[in-house]
C-alpha cells in the first residue's frame, strides 16, 4: 500500500515520536558490554546523579511533552479512550499487519526527508536483532509489531495520548515516574480515592485489573490479544511502563503472573532501545520472511 499521504507527526511539542525514544536512551543509557542486563532484577534504580544529569539536560520539547502527558492522563480520560477505541474495534479500520506498518510509515516528519521509513526501520531493526539472537518466532514477530499502536497518531490523537512512559491511573503516582512534579497539575490529584497507594484497586490485584495511562501499548495489546502467547502480550502491553520494568515501581499492584511475565518485558526492552543503527534494513529482502511470519500468527486482517 502506498497511499502517497504524508501526514503530520501528530499534534504536540515533539519534533517527531522518535524524540521521546531518543530521550529514553539518554535516560537509560546502554550498559557497557559485560555489565548486568538493564533492569535485570526489576529494582535497578538510577543513581541520584544520573537523575540530576538527565533532568538538567532534558530538551524543552521533551519536558513540555511530559507536562502535557502528566496533566491530561486522568482516570476519566483513560476510560473515555478505552470506550472510544476498544468498544468498537474493527469499525474504524480493518488492516493486515503489513498494511498497518505501511500506514504507520505515513507518519513522517516533513522537515526531514530521511525519516520517510523511520518507523518501519525501527520495527525491523528491533525484530532483526531479536532474530539474530536466536529467539522464538513469536518474539521476532513481537519486535516487528510492538509499535503499531502508534497509528493512533494517524487517527488524530495528540502525541501525549500515543507515546510517553505509561503508568497506572486511579492510584497514587510513583516518584519513579519521570518529571513527577508535572503530576501536580493532573485533576486526579484532587480525588482522594485516587491518591492512596492502591487507589481504586486492591493490593496484588494484577495489572490486568489496573487502568494504565492511554497510549500505543494498551491499544495494540487489544488489537492482537487473541493471536500471541502471553509473553508477547506482556511485552506489547507494558513496554513503555518504565517506572515498573526499569525502576521497580508498582510491585504492590502486581500478582505472581505479572512478576513472572515482566521478565519478558525486561528481556524485550534492550531490543527496543538499543538497536537503532545507521545501517538500514533491506526491506525488499526481508519482506518474504516477515510475510510468512505474520501469516503464521495473524489472520489476513486485524480489527483496529
Residues that bind Fe ion (CB under 5 A): 147, 272
Q: What is the CA radius of gyration of the chain?
A: 18
Q: Least distance (Å) from Fe ion to the CB of residue 247?
A: 17
Tell the smallest beta-carbon distance from residue 17 to Fe ion (Å).
9
Kindly tell me the burial class for residue 126, based on how many C-beta atoms sit within 10 Å of its own C-beta (0-12, 13-18, 19 or more): buried
Closest to Fe ion by CB, 165 or 272:
272
For Fe ion, give the closer residue by CB, 70 or 122.
122
User: Residue 15 class from Cβ within 10 Å (0-12 exposed, 13-18 middle, 19+ buried)?
Assistant: middle
Task: Round to whole Å and give the CA distance between 229 and 225.
Answer: 8
Cα–Cα distance measured from residue 7 to residue 62, given in angstroms and rounded to the nearest whole number: 21
What cell does 203 get?
493490593
- For Fe ion, the closer of residues 145 and 171 by Cβ is 145
Rounded Cα distance, 277 and 259, in Å: 31
Compute the least distance from the CB of residue 239 to Fe ion, in Å.
5
Of 52 and 132, nearer to Fe ion (C-beta) is 132
Residue 299 Cβ vs Fe ion, minimum distance, rounded to whole Å: 23
Evaluated on CA atoms 252, 258, 263, 265, the torsion sign reads negative
CB of 122 to Fe ion, least distance (A): 6
CB of 123 to Fe ion, least distance (A): 8
- Measured CA to CA, the distance from residue 171 to residue 29 in angstroms comes to 29
Look up cell 557497557; give the residue.
32
Q: Between 171 and 223, whose beta carbon lies closer to Fe ion?
A: 223
Give the residue with the Cβ less far from Fe ion, 23 or 272. 272
Find cell 543503527 and name the residue. Answer: 277
Report yes or no: 228 and 138 within 8 Å, Cβ to Cβ.
yes
Instruction: Give min distance, CB of 197 to Fe ion, in A.
Output: 27
Pick 138 or 255: Cβ nearer Fe ion: 138
Instruction: Pick the closest to residue 259 from 9, 41, 26, 78 (CA basis).
Output: 41
Tell me the three state secondary structure of residue 65: helix
Amino acid at each position: 500500500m502506498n497511499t502517497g499521504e504524508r501526514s503530520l507527526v501528530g499534534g504536540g511539542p515533539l519534533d517527531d515520536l522518535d524524540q521521546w525514544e531518543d530521550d529514553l536512551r539518554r535516560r537509560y543509557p546502554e550498559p557497557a558490554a559485560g555489565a548486568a542486563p538493564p533492569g535485570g532484577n526489576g529494582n535497578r534504580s538510577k543513581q541520584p546523579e544520573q537523575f540530576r544529569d538527565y533532568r538538567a539536560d532534558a530538551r524543552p520539547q521533551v519536558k513540555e511533552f511530559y507536562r502535557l502527558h502528566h496533566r491530561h492522563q486522568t482516570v476519566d480520560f483513560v476510560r473515555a479512550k478505552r470506550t472510544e477505541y476498544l468498544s468498537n474495534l474493527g469499525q474504524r479500520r480493518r488492516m493486515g499487519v503489513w498494511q498497518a506498518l505501511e500506514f504507520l510509515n505515513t507518519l513522517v516528519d516533513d522537515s526531514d526527508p530521511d525519516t520517510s521509513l523511520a518507523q518501519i526501520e525501527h520495527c525491523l531493526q528491533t525484530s532483526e536483532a531479536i532474530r539474530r539472537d536466536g529467539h522464538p518466532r513469536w518474539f521476532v514477530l513481537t519486535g516487528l509489531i510492538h509499535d503499531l499502536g502508534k497509528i493512533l497518531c494517524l487517527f488524530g490523537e495528540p502525541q501525549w495520548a500515543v507515546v510517553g512512559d505509561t503508568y497506572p491511573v486511579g492510584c497514587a503516582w510513583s516518584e519513579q515516574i519521570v518529571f513527577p512534579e508535572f503530576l501536580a497539575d493532573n485533576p486526579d490529584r484532587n480525588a482522594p480515592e485516587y491518591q492512596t497507594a492502591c487507589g481504586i484497586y486492591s493490593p496484588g490485584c494484577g495489572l490486568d485489573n489496573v487502568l494504565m495511562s492511554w497510549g500505543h501499548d494498551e491499544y495494540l495489546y487489544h488489537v492482537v490479544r487473541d493471536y500471541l502467547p502471553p509473553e508477547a502480550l506482556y511485552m506489547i502491553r507494558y513496554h513503555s511502563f518504565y517506572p515498573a520494568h526499569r525502576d521497580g515501581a508498582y510491585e504492590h499492584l502486581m500478582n505472581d503472573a505479572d512478576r513472572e511475565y515482566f521478565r519478558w518485558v525486561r528481556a524485550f526492552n534492550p531490543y527496543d532501545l538499543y538497536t537503532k543503527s545507521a545501517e538500514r534494513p533491506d526491506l525488499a529482502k526481508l519482506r518474504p520472511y516477515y510475510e510468512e511470519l505474520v501469516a503464521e500468527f495473524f489472520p489476513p486482517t486485524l480489527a483496529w
